[in-house]
């Protein structure tokens, strides 16, 4: 267990120094922003990165003593220091750090693709098939019914007729089947977990993105006439979906082969290559309406399974991404809209609880149908609770497509994702610990030789 192992090697003196350093970090910036209020607006991206990196790292070390994942520490540091609590990092600075988010998501997708080996997929193919079908059906249907009933208590939906309310419920149902690749990769990178639960989580979450993209497009076609009251189905949506999927796969395959050739023939300057991929290619793919996450995941998959350069690429991503991932998750915590969560927390929490129960039931059923081993049957659900960037991105897409209900839909989605984002990683790490899949020795080696990626 990385967390326990690490904490066991650090005495009370070390933890006391870390707690003191964290208090000093928050205290100095708090005093500075209060004595010179103009500093708050001029904090800037560089100072914001420094604060989030230092505070997130120290907070994760302290939370490690009670078995919480590092990711929770990053999120908590961002929430406390963010615009809605101590205001140490203001909204302008949080928005300035959006390029870091773009880079982190690109690296996470690349790493996820590299981790998806064909041998792994064959090993869990039966489980994946049953889980994908059962999870999509049960969670989608349960959450559609839940939103249809509970949506009447959301101010934005309270006056909707039955048809539009059903459309909103269908959209919420499909949004509920999204998972968080970033949270999954974050926990697996910290713990270096190996075993059936970790294997299933990685394979399912990374491959489910494709299913989610297809289902969202299909449900949006169904919901459009219900919400707008006119229009009907449009083949234009099908064409857009086909373009996005085929374009993502084609671009990802080309990028993967190009990366493999570079790794074999040159092999140097990988930091600059990964920065270019994260910053430049992400914007380009957005411009040509290609899903960047899917494209980068395909690229990593190609490098791993069609060439011999997979380990080299993964090592480069870990070395590059360690600091980026800390800032990414801390910034995600700072981005959390605390007032909005306070406003919708009862409905959001109820929806999250129902989603968690549906996910658990679906996981147990699919594992039974696939005849999974006992460990997978008991713990496979734990990695499926987290939601993050994909859910938020889809909520924005849905909100833009349906402006009549978009604002309320996005607000409730943000509140629900915030709850799942805080609870999900804790459950997943606890499950990996209980399943005996975390490796104390490997985590300790990673923390000493590759400190940044081990802190994810």
Per-residue pLDDT of the chain (456 residues), as tens digits, is 333 334 445 678 888 998 999 999 898 888 877 776 665 555 566 777 888 899 999 998 898 888 788 888 888 898 899 888 888 888 888 888 888 878 888 888 898 888 888 888 888 899 999 999 999 999 999 999 999 999 888 888 888 899 999 999 999 999 999 998 888 988 988 888 999 999 999 899 988 877 887 788 788 888 888 888 765 556 666 677 778 788 989 999 999 999 999 999 998 888 889 999 988 898 898 888 788 888 898 999 999 999 999 999 988 988 877 788 888 888 888 877 777 777 778 999 999 999 999 999 999 999 999 999 999 999 999 999 998 767 877 787 787 778 888 878 888 888 888 888 889 999 999 999 999 998 644 444 444 333 333 333
What six digits make up the tokens of 129?
């098939």
DSSP conformational letter for 35: H
Quick check: 82 and 89 in contact, CB under 8 A?
yes
Give CA–CA dist 328/176, Å, rounded: 23
Contacts of 451 (CB under 8 A, 6+ apart): 322
**Domains parsed from the chain with CATH numbers:** 2-97 (no CATH), 100-454 (1.20.1530.20)
- pLDDT at position 129 is 94
DSSP conformational letter for 66: T
Residue owning tokens 């773009």? 102
CB atoms within 10 A of CB 249: 18
DSSP conformational letter for 280: I
- pLDDT at position 82 is 86
265-272 long-range contacts (CB < 8 A, ≥24 apart) are: 267/312, 270/316, 270/320, 271/316, 271/319, 271/320
The structure's pTM equals 0.79
- pLDDT at position 453 is 37
Quick check: 30 and 88 in contact, CB under 8 A?
yes
pLDDT tens, residue by residue, 3-27: 333 444 567 888 899 899 999 989 8
- pLDDT at position 87 is 84
- pLDDT at position 84 is 85
340's enclosing H/E stretch is: helix 338-370
Helix residue spans in 65-161 (DSSP H): 70-81, 91-96, 98-115, 118-123, 125-150
């Amino acid at each position: 267990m990385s967390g326990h192992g690490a904490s066991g090697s650090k005495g009370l003196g070390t933890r006391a120094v870390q707690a003191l350093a964290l208090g000093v970090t928050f205290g100095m910036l708090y005093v500075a922003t209060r004595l010179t209020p103009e500093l708050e607006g001029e904090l800037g991206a560089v100072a914001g990165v420094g604060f989030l990196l230092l505070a997130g790292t120290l907070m994760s070390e302290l939370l490690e003593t009670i078995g919480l994942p590092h990711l929770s520490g990053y999120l908590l540091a961002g929430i406390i220091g963010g615009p809605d609590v101590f205001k140490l990092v203001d909204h302008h600075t949080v928005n300035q750090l959006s390029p870091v988010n773009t880079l982190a998501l690109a690296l996470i997708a690349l790493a996820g693709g590299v981790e998806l080996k064909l041998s792994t997929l064959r090993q869990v193919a039966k489980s994946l098939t049953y889980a994908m079908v059962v999870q999509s059906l049960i969670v989608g249907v349960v959450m559609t019914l839940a939103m249809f009933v509970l949506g009447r208590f959301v101010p934005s939906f309270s006056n909707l007729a039955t048809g539009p309310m059903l459309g909103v419920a269908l959209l919420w149902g499909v949004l509920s089947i999204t998972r968080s690749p970033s949270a999954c990769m974050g926990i697996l990178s910290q713990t270096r977990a190996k075993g059936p639960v970790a294997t299933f989580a990685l394979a399912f979450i990374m491959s489910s993105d494709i299913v989610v993209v297809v289902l969202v497009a299909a449900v949006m076609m169904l919901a459009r006439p219900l919400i707008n009251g006119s229009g009907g189905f449009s083949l234009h949506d099908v064409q857009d979906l086909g373009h996005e999927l085929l374009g993502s796969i084609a671009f990802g395959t080309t990028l993967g082969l190009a990366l493999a050739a570079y790794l074999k023939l040159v092999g140097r300057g990988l930091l600059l290559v990964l920065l270019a991929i994260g910053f430049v290619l992400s914007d380009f793919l957005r411009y040509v309406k290609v899903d960047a996450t899917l494209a980068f995941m395909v690229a990593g998959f190609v490098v791993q399974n069609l060439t011999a350069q997979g380990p080299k690429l993964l090592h480069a991503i870990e070395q590059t991404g360690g600091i980026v991932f800390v800032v990414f998750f801390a910034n995600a915590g700072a981005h959390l809209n605390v007032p909005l969560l306070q406003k919708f927390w009862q409905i959001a929490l109820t929806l999250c609880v129902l989603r968690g129960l549906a996910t658990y039931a679906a996981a147990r059923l699919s594992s039974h149908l696939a005849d999974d081993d006992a460990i997978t049957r008991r713990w496979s659900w734990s990695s499926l609770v987290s939601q993050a960037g994909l859910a938020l991105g889809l909520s924005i897409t849905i909100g833009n497509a349906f402006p009549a209900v978009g604002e309320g839909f996005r607000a409730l989605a943000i509140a629900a994702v915030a709850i799942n984002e805080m609870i999900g990683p804790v459950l997943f790490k606890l499950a990996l610990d209980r399943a005996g899949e975390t490796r104390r020795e490997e985590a300790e080696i990673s923390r000493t030789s590759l400190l940044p990626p081990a802190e994810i």
